[in-house]
Chain A
Amino acid sequence: MTMPILAQQLTSQVNSWLPVLILLIIAIGFGVANIAISLLIGPTRSGPGKETIYESGMMPIGDTRKRFNVKFYLLAITFVVFDVEIVFLYPWATAFPHAVVGGGGFSTLLLISMLVFIGVILVGYVYEWGKGVFHWD
């Protein structure tokens, strides 16, 4: 490979990454500039009210290192699982009609795949239910 071609390739590579570089510079610059400006022109008064943790306007009670009931985590995981299921269902639902129209038995495979997927998640749901995860008392 001769030198000019290599140089040309390099330039074209650099050009295609230029927007990313600019975005990166703007992003870093925005952060740094904001901190710098508030340090420079912001008032530096302090007090007990200002020192407390901001908790949506409420008075904070205790600190964050508390033990939570494990059910919160289980519920959160259940939520994430069903959330992800929906994320899969949307593209599937948009592709499925085309497969039905297109024919060729592909739609059956798609349907079975999705039913298996939902079935697997359903087993997990029933298992959680049976284990009493949704009992809150």
Chain B
Amino acid sequence: MTDLLSLILPELILGGAALLLLFMGIGKSVATRKSAAAIALLALIAAFVAAARHASALHGGATLADRYDAIRLYEFGQYFKLLVCAVGILLVLLAWPSSSDAQGNPSLRFGTEASEFLGLMLLSLTGILLTASANDMVLLFLAIELVSLPTYIMVAISRPTAVAQEAAIKYFFIGAMAAAVMLFGFSYLYGTTGTTSLYAFAQMIKENGAIGALNSWQMLAVMAVLLGLTYKIAAFPMHFYAGDVYQGAATPVTAFLAFVPKTAGFVAIIKILFAITAGTWIAPTQIVNLLWIIAALTMTIGNVLGLLQFNIKRLLAYSSIAHSGYMLVGLTALLYAHYAPSLHSSQVANVQNDALRGVLFYLAAYGIANVAAFGVLSLLPAAGAQSPGSSAETLDDVAGTGRSHPILGLTMAVACFSLIGLPLTVGFFGKLFLIVPAWKAQLGGLVIITVINAAISAGYYLRIVGTMFLRPAATVIPSASATSQPPRRAPLAIAVSITLAVLAVLALGIIFPTTQALSHLASRSTALEGSTANALLSTAATPDH
């Protein structure tokens, strides 16, 4: 029992802090709201430390499980716990209530609900940590929903405008539908095996000799679960909400939406794939083909629709869809490696390991660059008279800002370069680590589609940068008083967040040892069941480090 409590200590810290923040929401003073942000930050740091505590125990692919097998923690889960706490700190800083009445910041206006907002943020992050360590399908489902449910409210209270309310309602209803479909899938997975434990499920698949050959009910279940999770990662069949929702939410919330549910979705997909392949990553060919199609369509739809946007938040929403597509390429390579016609069998495990490492690395790279891009956007003022809590939205808003705010302009440029995947940024290695395994797994067609898409994405990312530096500022009609004011001083918390993110993007892109360190960490975190699961592996796959 103590063992269970110590395993989920980071979750307990975050969840406890979230409850405390809800309590504080009753208070109406400015001091309460200011201290709420500090508490949220401290809780995330404490959760990071608490999660890092297990690092030595997990090193070398060990598994930590509690007595009831509800939680199984591997280096895989550990990686995500640390990543999410780190990026979570940056996201809390972006949402810091820095205005004098502590009711928001230049881009966010939650009014007196600052404590609740930050509490919901922590609850959502708690959900990811639980997703990373859950071994039980019921717990996994609850954890994924714990990620999503607070975000619906966060979208609604992030700013007092009708668009935000509309976005929240859309997000909620589509989310509820996706959750229902996913839960339906989980129920069939349970029904065909009689167990809710993912680990027991994997063992059953192996003992029945059903690796790579699920029965038709299980196929249906996997498809339903995948459909539900494509909503979380904003991928092809369930991507259409992203534009409206990302545009409607306040910019710091959009940054949150672009990273947090996506990460939870990928963690869950990888866990489900692990369970249904019994850890061998040998899935039925239909599922591999399905992933291939989803990956190709997601990338292409995201990038082509991104080209058509004039609202930057909408543009980044479609680009976020495209990034999910790139990561799905990694997952396709992971599952296809076994079927690659001329890949030597001794190399399969290698390619699988590299493919999964690519996905893990890319999530980190994307998360950091994403914070930088949205952070800059949240600091740039919107042109014309604006309701409180609104920052730059359209390309017209940012025109010429690169010259009036050179540091912000350069930061945006770095973030965009990283999202394109240009060298000297972490995004380059992110794309590289995804494409190389896909090439090795002989997914030539998919690699070509990925590269073409990366080129398309350069079109709209460079348009943001180009507009900021090359286009003259839009001459605003009468209410120019708002824009002709001297540039607002960036609130310290947001400035710190963006600085950290940009430094990380550059450091991981230029200083090779740091890149190597992160990729090594990601590579180590690819073996889910670690040493114990080598009993699970049917082909004598030896993961090398």
Contact = CB atoms under 8 A, between A and B. Distances in A.
A77 B508 CA distance: 48
Given A105-B1, A108-B1, A130 B19 contact: no
Which label, helix, strand, loop or mixed, suits the secondary structure of the B interface? Answer: helix
Contacts of A109: 1, 4
B19 A126 contact: no
Overall SS of chain A's interface: helix
A108 B2 CA distance: 11
Interface stretch (B21-29, B337-345, B469-477): B21-29
A105 B23 CA distance: 32
Contacts, number: 21
A123 B1 contact: no
Contacts of B25: 127, 130-131
A106 B25 CA distance: 35
Nearest to A126: B23
A105 B25 CA distance: 37
Contacts of A120: 19
Contacts of B26: 126-127, 130-131
A105 B26 CA distance: 37
B3 to A, nearest CB: 11
Contacts of B19: 119-120, 123
Interface string B1-40: 1001000000000000001001101100000000000000
A109 B67 CA distance: 11
A100 to B, nearest CB: 15
B65 to A, nearest CB: 15
Interface in B160-198: none
B27 to A, nearest CB: 8
Contacts of A124: 22
A60 B19 CA distance: 45
Nearest to B28: A130
B459 to A, nearest CB: 46
A13 to B, nearest CB: 14
B335 to A, nearest CB: 29
A130 B25 CA distance: 9
Interface string A107-118: 011001000000
B1 A127 contact: no
A113 B198 CA distance: 23
Interface string B496-508: 0000000000000
A84 B19 CA distance: 20
B413 to A, nearest CB: 44
A131 B4 CA distance: 35
Nearest to A127: B22
Most interface-central of A105, A123, A124, A126 (chain B CB within 10 A): A123
A133 B96 CA distance: 28
Interface string A18-35: 000000000000000000
Interface of B: 1, 4, 19, 22-23, 25-26
List of 4 A-B pairs having minimum Cβ-Cβ separation, nearest first:
A130-B26, A109-B1, A123-B19, A127-B22
17 contacts: A108-B1, A109-B1, A109-B4, A112-B1, A119-B19, A120-B19, A123-B19, A123-B22, A123-B23, A124-B22, A126-B23, A127-B22, A127-B23, A127-B25, A127-B26, A130-B25, A131-B26
Given A109-B1, A120-B19, A127-B26, 18 more contacts: A105-B1, A108-B1, A109-B4, A112-B1, A119-B19, A123-B19, A123-B22, A123-B23, A124-B22, A126-B23, A126-B26, A127-B22, A127-B23, A127-B25, A130-B25, A130-B26, A131-B25, A131-B26
